[in-house]
Structure 1
Amino acid sequence: MRLVVARCAVDYVGRLTAHLPMAPRLLLIKADGSVSIHADDRAYKPLNWMSPPCWLTEEPGLWRVENKAGEQLLITIEEVLHDSSHALGADPGLVKDGVEAHLQALLAEQVELLGAGYRLIRREYPTPVGPVDLLCRDASGAVVAVEIKRRGEIEGVEQLTRYVDLLSRDPLLGRVTGVFAAQQIKPQARTLAEDRGLRCLVLDYDRMRGVDDVAGRLF
């Protein structure tokens, strides 16, 4: 990655035109070929950028970035204040805490959170449109499909609806019901789920993994 701090003006020439007047800015040139121009605000959002594949040509006082569509960023350099390159190497990626896989494993171990008498049949139970997170039996022996999300949205309800419909066609399973489980469930998703006969369950991730601070709570 190359970091350049420079007084510069930027003109975008393409389907539209845009102009950034002369000012100090950060120019970020990544190993993937992308070039972005940043100010000291706007959080992570650049003022302008060119996504790969694109090519940077440096001339005295002018940088020209062009993509395969012929669009250009013309960066007029008045003064370079800093120029450094750093090899970051391959990135291992973001590891999120509390993703669906963690929630699925925890709920499979604590299946009683679904209700008294629940038993786990299998995790990742296959269906023709993908695996359902958990397949369980309730206290009466009826089969229940459980779909687990970090944030419960309408798309997840639709997904569980498809699983329940397909699983209910299997004569060995009988009529299958569904539980939509998530750390938080949006009101629209809850309304749709309940309208379709699906039960909603809010998961407390900290409590499930045994780090709930009981002493620190007022109630």
Structure 2
Amino acid sequence: MRLVIARCQVDYAGRLTAHLPMATRLLLVKADGSVSVHSDDRAYKPLNWMSPPCWLVEEPGTWTVSNKAGEKLIITLEEVLHDSKHELGVEPGLVKDGVEAHLQALLAEHITTLGDGYALVRREYPTAIGPVDILCRDAGGATVAVEIKRRGEIDGVEQLTRYLELLNRDPLLAPVQGVFAAQQIKPQARTLAEDRGIRCVTLDYEALRGMDSTEFRLF
């Protein structure tokens, strides 16, 4: 990552033209080759930018950034106030609170959220077409496969349907019922699930997270 703070003007020529008059701005040159121009407002959004693949040619007082489409970002530098480079390393990616893995762990810990008498068999139950989020048994001992999503859409119902078709071929598990659990379930997904005999459960992440854990209790 290269950070340059400079008084500059910026001219873009391509499908349209744009001009930024002379002012002090932050120029970011990233390892992916992108170049973006930022002011001290507008939050994260740059004033102008060139996405990769693009090429930066530096000449005294001028940066020319061009791409294969022939578009150009011309940055005229009046004064450079700061110029530094920093190695940021490999980006591990954003980890969001409340993603499906967290929902799965919380629901497995509090499996009776699905109903009194439910008991966990295991998380990530392996099948030939991928792991089922949760396999459990209801109060009557019947096997239940649970698919967990943050947002329940038709694709999730289709995924659970495929799991159920496969699991119901196993005489040790059949008959296997399905539960489609999500923080939000789209009406179309709910209609499809219920038409296929799959129960829909809306999960309250905050309520699950606030439940008392019994994991380390004797009583």
- Name the TM-score class by shorter chain: 0.7 to 0.9
For residues 60-108 of structure 1, what are the alpha-carbon distances to aligned partners after superposition, in whole Å with 9 as ceiling and x for unaligned?
Answer: 34322234x3544231415346443252522443221111111111111
* Residue equivalent to 2:217: none
Match among 16, 19, 24 for residue 18 of structure 1? 16
* Residue equivalent to 1:217: none
SS at match of 1:209: helix
* Residue equivalent to 1:55: 55
Give 1:26 shift: 4.0
**Relative to structure 1, is the Cα distance of residues 74 and 182 closer, same or farther in structure 2, using a 3 angstrom cutoff?**
same
Which amino acid in the other structure matches residue 189 of structure 1? Answer: A
Q: Is the 8 A contact 2:148 2:181 kept in 1?
A: yes
Q: What is the distance in 1 between the residues matched to 2:8 and 2:132?
A: 55
Q: What is the distance in 2 between the residues matched to 1:48 and 1:187?
A: 40
* Residue equivalent to 1:199: 199
Give 1:6 shift: 4.0
Q: What is the distance in 2 between the residues matched to 1:12 and 1:107?
A: 54
Q: Is the 8 A contact 1:6 1:27 kept in 2?
A: no
Gaps of 5+ in 1: 213-219
State the superposition RMSD in angstroms: 2.6
Q: What is the distance in 1 between the residues matched to 2:139 and 2:83?
A: 65
Please list, as runs of the form range in 1=range in 2, the aligned pairs for 1:59-208 lying within 5 A after superposition: 59-67=59-67, 69=68, 71-77=70-76, 79-80=78-79, 82-87=81-86, 89-90=88-89, 91-208=91-208
Q: What is the distance in 2 between the residues matched to 1:12 and 1:131?
A: 51
Q: What is the distance in 2 between the residues matched to 1:192 and 1:43?
A: 41
Q: What is the distance in 2 between the residues matched to 1:118 and 1:147?
A: 16
SS at match of 2:16: strand
SS at match of 1:188: helix
Q: What is the distance in 2 between the residues matched to 1:156 and 1:110?
A: 22
Gaps of 5+ in 2: 213-219
Q: What is the distance in 2 between the residues matched to 1:80 and 1:157?
A: 58
Q: What is the distance in 2 between the residues matched to 1:122 and 1:211?
A: 20
Q: What is the distance in 1 between the residues matched to 2:132 and 2:7?
A: 53
Q: Is the 8 A contact 2:118 2:138 kept in 1?
A: yes
Give 1:58 shift: 0.9
For residues 160-208 of structure 1, what are the alpha-carbon distances to aligned partners after superposition, in whole Å with 9 as ceiling and x for unaligned?
Answer: 1221122122232212221111122222322222222211111122222
**Relative to structure 1, is the Cα distance of residues 162 and 45 closer, same or farther in structure 2, using a 3 angstrom cutoff?**
farther
**Relative to structure 1, is the Cα distance of residues 39 and 153 closer, same or farther in structure 2, using a 3 angstrom cutoff?**
farther
Q: Is the 8 A contact 1:64 1:72 kept in 2?
A: no
Which amino acid in the other structure matches residue 94 of structure 2? Answer: L
Normalised by the length of structure 2, the TM-score is 0.80
Q: Is the 8 A contact 1:2 1:83 kept in 2?
A: no
Aligned residues: 208
